[in-house]
A = this chain, B = another copy of it.
């Protein structure tokens, strides 16, 4: 293992150095008592002065703040959290971070959190309920003041969330919500967009357009698929008996890739596909490249995606683009309402930020 690396600087040898025993003992960080001692005032006064309490004289405040800066004092967040019963932290639970949508959403969330002086604890469920459950449990007991979650693909119960609700920790869904749990959700108009995608392909004269879904339980996929199916039904396409408007690709990335190749290369296969998520779109492109299937001549492609590179793909990709940043931002804003206003009720809040279809060469 080690020989993969090429250390370029010799490792400094410190064992047996001059000052044994003082290395690595976490250096005594100055605490509020010491700060008070130096100033010859009480800790209570210091504490209040630092929090800019009105019951402290301007003069004292100044002295305290200056000395704090001088001694590089910063309050211990754990002590403070323990006492105040809040953490100034929110938990963000995502299926993955490698999807551009989630990167953008994190930016939106971060922009709000930063302005509120909150910290962001990020968790990845890797799209597995089993992980999500552990993570949610970890967020309990005051570790976070609120949770923003995009549910995993195979979550089928909300018991874990209910648990947290017991503790009165506000939860907001963003993008991927869960029907069986009533709390605020910030999502996009998935059904409508599925319909738009279907309509767009029908208008292009497609006869066997197929929606490639990754989950039959995930609301975003279900909604998109249903909207799509409705468009197909309304179109009056005379279906051959073998034609299925919605197909499922499940399993590992490799498995999905194989399924896609099978689907698009078969006799009487689709003449157009809708990728339900970004990953599927890339795999369709890769598959077409590998199999020599021409987009859009032999296969038209639309993808639900926020891919920045959509306009410069070969060919450029028609997308239904979610307002990812805004979704993250809005979800965070609502969460903070729930955190700050003790009597703000998140139940029933449902905000829908619309996505847009951007036509490019892949459906020309």
Which residues of A line the B interface, CB within 8 A?
4-15, 23-27, 29, 72, 74-79, 81-82, 85, 87, 89, 96-98, 100, 103-104, 106-107, 110, 114, 119-124, 137-138, 140-143, 163, 166-168, 182, 282, 285-286, 289, 307-309, 311-316, 342-343, 345, 347-353
Contact = CB atoms under 8 A, between A and B. Distances in A.
B312 A286 contact: yes
Contact of A81 (B78, B282, B342): B78
Per assembly, the copies of the chain total 2
A271 to B, nearest CB: 20
A291 to B, nearest CB: 13
A210 B347 CA distance: 57
A98 B143 CA distance: 27
A345 B12 contact: yes
Contacts of A351: 5, 7
Contact of A4 (B166, B342, B353): B353
A283 to B, nearest CB: 10
B347 A11 contact: yes
Contact of A345 (B14, B26, B87, B343): B14
A131 to B, nearest CB: 8
A15 B121 contact: no
B24 A141 contact: no
The 7 closest A-B pairs by CB, nearest first: A314-B314, A78-B81, A78-B82, A12-B348, A11-B348, A24-B342, A285-B312
Tell me the dominant secondary structure on chain A's binding face.
loop
Given A97-B107, A312-B282, A343-B24, A349 B82 contact: no
A359 to B, nearest CB: 16
Contacts of A76: 82, 141-142
Contacts of A282: 308-309, 312
22 contacts: A5-B352, A7-B350, A8-B350, A11-B347, A12-B348, A13-B345, A27-B166, A27-B167, A29-B167, A77-B141, A77-B142, A78-B142, A96-B107, A98-B103, A98-B107, A119-B138, A282-B312, A285-B312, A286-B311, A289-B311, A312-B314, A314-B314
A124 B122 CA distance: 12
B312 A289 contact: yes
Contact of A315 (B314, B343, B353): B314
A110 to B, nearest CB: 5
